[in-house]
Structure 1
Amino acid sequence: MSHRFDPSVLREYDIRGVVGQTLGEADAYAIGRSFGTALRRSGGHRLVVGRDGRLSSPMLEQALVEGLTASGVDTVRIGLAATPMLYFAEVSAEDVQGGIQVTGSHNPADHNGFKMVLGGRPFFGADIQRLGVMAAAGDWAEVECEEPAGRSELQEFLPLYVDRLIEGLSGLDTDHVAGLRIGWDAGNGAAGPALELLTSRLPGEHHLLFSDVDGRFPNHHPDPTIEANLADLRALVAVKNLHFGVAFDGDADRIGVIDGQGRVIDADQLLMIYARDVLARHPGATVIADVKASGAVYDTVRALGGIAEMAPSGHSHIKSRMKETGALLGGETSGHFFLGDDYYGFDDGLYAAVRLIAASARLGAPLARLRDAMPAMCNTPEIRFAVPEARKFAVIEEVRARLIGAGAEVNALDGVRVTAPDGWWLLRASNTQAALTARAESGTDQGVARLVAEIDRQLALSGVSRGDV
């Protein structure tokens, strides 16, 4: 037997497609066969499997488990779960060597996919492409007739997971925490069950939106990086006079935050808040940010006595680099945060929210005041525009060659990040879409406009112009 995946589904960080078009049961079974084979060849034999709340997730999970079982892999099934709960189970369950989460993350309701971890490390990039090669060749482990196929069992991890989340408040002044009023928007995603249990046990006043899991996402799209999706949370914060609000994406590994004045605290600003908290308790620690991060992030970390390191964009890259360096904190402009001082270093939106409460308490100020104390940043949001898949990486290489030929100061870690006298600009190829992304930052709005014009000039030299993707 063999199987060929639609070429669009094997992405850099996960496997993702449109159910019924590019992704279905046969694909899920083949992923189980290929990943199960890779696990067994690495010496493992047991995996944790979870799923989000999408309507297609139970079907895909069942086919996935059948493929794993046929490869002789035992599975611990944790049922409906946020992706970080799957990560928690993978490090907490007895005798497991990896995990697979069925999730479409923040994508539309008819999309779905798989996020994977093997041996405590993210499974991405070339590893994912290898699954496609194995499936196409039918290079799958066979179970001998006298050898039992893999077994499957159900385990409950939600109470243990919430217990661990609450440890993020250990040692705090309970009076300060008890005085907080917080809003929460689960967006009908997989965060709901854990969020309901968590807030029932947290001190303080808590107001929840859309915590019932509904894979149709009837209230708003579950992507907290898009400001329009935060409208309900912003209204809740205003009506209830809350200190801040937290929104989650569809599988709860990312967050968006509204402060008590109704302003979005963007990912750069959140990372600086976490850095102040972590570095006050762990002087000299390493903090990793992605290549899209504001220069203020790196400057703040250094001013606080920390070591600032830049990493390629993508949550898998940052998690891997944190393990390699022993960094205690990482953050990505898409809203992934990685806390490794008192936690495991994987991206967990629920734990990040708990640690935001802790940071506010330890730093002795509400989030709005912490935001006001930050350096002013004149920058663009991430600008994303369509470029054909076959062209996007070539455009970046053309731009890089021109800039280096002109003597520009270029960081080519991930695309091109160009340092100019009045700021910096970035142009890189998306690893998940047929698109390029750009960002610019300067000391003034006029400087930002000049840098964006330079991006446009470089694009024009390669026959590309910006537009909506």
Structure 2
Amino acid sequence: MAHAFDPTILREYDIRGVFGTTLGVEDAQAIGRSFGTLVARGGPGLGSKGAQAWPKVVVGYDGRLSSPMLESALITGLIASGVDVVSVGLGPTPMLYYAEASMQDVQGGIQITGSHNPADHNGFKMVLGGAPFFGADIQTLGAMAAEGDWDDVVGEDGREAGCVTRVDILDAYVTRLLQGIDGLPADRLAAMRIGWDAGNGAAGPALELLTSRMPGEHHLLFTQIDGTFPNHHPDPTEECNLADLRALVAAKNLDFGVAFDGDADRLGVVDGQGRVIWGDQLLGVFAEDLLRELPNATVIADIKASRALFDTIAAHGGKPLMWKTGHSLIKAKMQETGAPLAGEMTGHVFFKHGYYGFDDGLYAAVRLIAASLRLGRTVTELRGAMPEMFNTPELRFRVDESRKFAAVEEVRERLARTGAEVVDLDGVRVTTSDGWWLLRASNTQDVLVARAESGTAEGLERLLGQIDEQLALSGLRRG
């Protein structure tokens, strides 16, 4: 029987919607049917993880109230297509990625998660054959569902559907995270004093186990998983959500603090003075550490990243590469280029060096500890040495879904006629004598995203004025 998705949920990087409005259990079952059929047919990209007699997909879910219902429906769809399911249960998205990467007999993975979105949102992040599943792949799922192009597979053993195996992988995952500090002096690790904020998201149990097994003094906030997020919204890119962590660092006089988003594939950091270290600034620290071991390596950053980051990578002997925003797009570019490190301003950090190449906020936090010790500077000292730029955070303002991409294209066409210096691989990033500004359409929400950076406050105001001018010409405004 065919199924039609609400077209707004089939996004560029993953599938996301509002539970009970644009996303429901019927959608989850249809996703399972389509994805399971692709895997059972030996879908594109499976490579060495090609389908076995009974192919397997690993499934996990986050702490949102709707996630168990969606998991049950998803599994029903998968097994109906003849796919065996390995369920790793409740946990962070990178734990699901770890399971898919480390289990040799699975062909794909799906995490049910609303990530950093509001509590009534949910969605699906997918990987197939060790590669991100996004873009045209997601549209393929939609087309298969619309046509009812699903298999009911019967194996040689007569089984008419797959089966479900429950696996507890948390301990193995945390053990793997701890390899990020292997070989570092025990006394220096023991001297670290760190604050942690799980934000009532899926990171909680993994964070408790990680810090219990890690040297040092650790102070934890909000590790109890609660899909209503009673303390603050789990999005560390919003500075207001770091208030509790800042207060903890100040009250306990800690070295630094780390916060995670709802599914822990991103992190936010404050130093010992409470200053935020944004995702692109963190990537600069990781790049400096990495390039001591891998000179001339390529480091990828998204188009929203500071010019200072690209300069930092080059200054330490690396090859900076600007790329499109989006965790799936960055991971695909890493596979294409062989880059050992990548990151986004939003706090996604991807380590192929020493790890698997997927975004993992917990592992990035472990690597921050390691980088600080190897570089011989505290996190506060590393933050203090960063150039002080005048920049905005991500400025997000609502624009109708049907209008957002068209508006950016109008801006691009006008700029092309003026001869402006533009990078248009993802929206438009315009460089002027004052610095640069960016306007792009979000691939996950009905918003436009703007950002600007300058060496002076006056220059920043002029850049913002240029953004406002271009928006006005398209009948839009910020705010």
When normalised by structure 2's length, the TM-score is 0.96
User: Aligned partners of 2:411, 2:397: CA distance in 1, in Å?
Assistant: 16
1:107 to 117, 125, 131: 117
Letter in 2 for 1:307: K
CA–CA distance in 2 between the matches of 1:22 and 1:399?
31
Q: Cα deviations across residues 253-306 of structure 1 (Å, max 9, x unaligned)?
A: 000111101111111211111111111111111100000000001011001100
2:6 aligns with 6
Please name the residue that 2:173 is paired with: 161
- 3-state secondary structure, aligned to 1:8: helix
Structure 1 Cα separation of the partners of residues 8 and 405 of structure 2: 16
Cα distance in structure 2, aligned partners of 1:226 and 1:270: 16
Q: Residues 425-444 of structure 1: matches in 2 within 5 Å?
A: 425-444=437-456
Question: Which residues in structure 2 correspond to 1:343-354 (within 5 Å)?
Answer: 343-354=355-366
Match of 2:132? 122
Query: Corresponding residue for 1:462?
Result: 474
Residue in 2 aligned with 1:445? Answer: 457
Matched residue type, 1:139: D
Q: Name the residue aligned to 1:404.
A: 416
Whole-Å separation in 2 of the counterparts to 1:440 and 1:216 = 33
1:340-385 per-residue CA deviation (whole Å, 9 max, x = no partner) reads 1111110000000000100110111111110111122111111111
**What is the alpha-carbon distance in structure 1 between the residues aligned to residue 234 and residue 437 of structure 2?**
29
After superposition, the C-alpha distances for 1:115-173 in whole angstroms (9 at most, x for unaligned) are 10001111111111111111011011122494431111011111111110000001112
Matched, 1:218 2:230: yes
Q: Secondary structure at the match of 1:401?
A: helix
Aligned to 2:264: 252
The answer to whether the aligner puts 1:87 opposite 2:88 as a matched pair is: no
Secondary structure of 1:208's aligned partner: strand
- The one-letter code sitting in structure 1 at the alignment partner of 2:335 is K
Any idea what SS the aligned residue of 1:459 has?
helix
In the alignment, does 2:68 pair up with 1:58? yes
Counterpart residue type for residue 21 of structure 1: T
- Which one of the candidate residues 145, 148, 157 is aligned to 1:138? 148
SS in 1 for 2:350: strand
Q: Is 2:219 the partner of 1:207?
A: yes
1:6-405 residue pairs with structure 2 within 5 A? 6-41=6-41, 42=43, 43-44=50-51, 45-144=55-154, 146-405=158-417
Question: How far apart are residue 199 of structure 1 and its match?
Answer: 0.3
Task: Please give the per-residue CA displacement for 1:186-226, whole angstroms capped at 9, x wherever unaligned.
Answer: 11111011111100000000011111111111111111111
Measure, in 1, the Cα distance between the counterparts of 2:449 and 2:362.
28
Shift of 1:6: 1.2
Aligned equivalents of 2:395 and 2:232: distance in 1?
A: 22
Give 2:436's aligned residue. 424
Contact 2:264 2:362 in 1 (8 A): yes
The alpha carbon displacement at 1:61 in A equals 0.4
8 Å Cα contact 2:258-2:365 kept in structure 1:
yes
Mapped to 2, the partners of 1:259 and 1:10 lie a distance apart of 38
Instruction: Name the aligned partner's letter for residue 74 of structure 1.
Output: D
Partner Cα distance (2:474, 2:424) in 1: 18
| 286-295 vs 220-229, which moves further | 220-229
Q: Which amino acid in 2 is paired with 1:314?
A: G
2:47 corresponding residue in structure 1: none
Alpha-carbon distance between aligned partners in 1 of 2:444 and 2:104, rounded to the nearest angstrom: 34
Which residue identity lines up with residue 64 of structure 1 in the other structure?
A: L
With 36-45 and 151-160 compared, the bigger mean Cα shift is at 36-45
Match of 1:447, SS state, is helix
Output the CA distance in 2 between the equivalents of 1:144 and 1:374: 60
* Uncovered stretches (5+) of structure 1, i.e. residues with no partner: none
Q: Distance in 2 between matches of 1:58 and 1:401?
A: 46
In structure 2, distance between residues paired with 1:158 and 1:267: 26
1:446 alignment partner AA = E
Q: % of aligned pairs identical? A: 69
Take 1:56 and 1:387, find their aligned partners in 2: how far apart are those partners? 27
Distance, in Å, in 2 between the alignment partners of 1:378 and 1:218 is 33
Secondary structure at 2:176 match in 1:
helix
How far off its partner does 1:422 sit? 2.0
CA offsets, 1:208-259, max 9 Å, x none? 1111111111111111111111111111101111000100111100001111
Aligned-residue offset at 1:315:
0.9
Asked if 1 retains the 8 angstrom alpha-carbon contact of 2:82 and 2:154, the reply is no
CA distance in 2: counterparts of 1:221 and 1:424, whole angstroms: 30
| Residue aligned with 2:320, SS | strand
| Counterparts of 2:433 and 2:120, CA distance in 1 | 46
Q: Cα distance, 1:462 vs. partner? A: 1.4
Q: What CA distance in whole angstroms lies between the structure 1 residues aligned with 2:63 and 2:474? A: 43
Which residue identity is paired with 1:380?
T
Note the alpha carbon deviations across 1:44-94, whole angstroms, 9 max, x for none: 221110111112111110110010000000111101111000000001113
8 Å contact 2:152–2:161 — kept in the other structure?
Answer: no
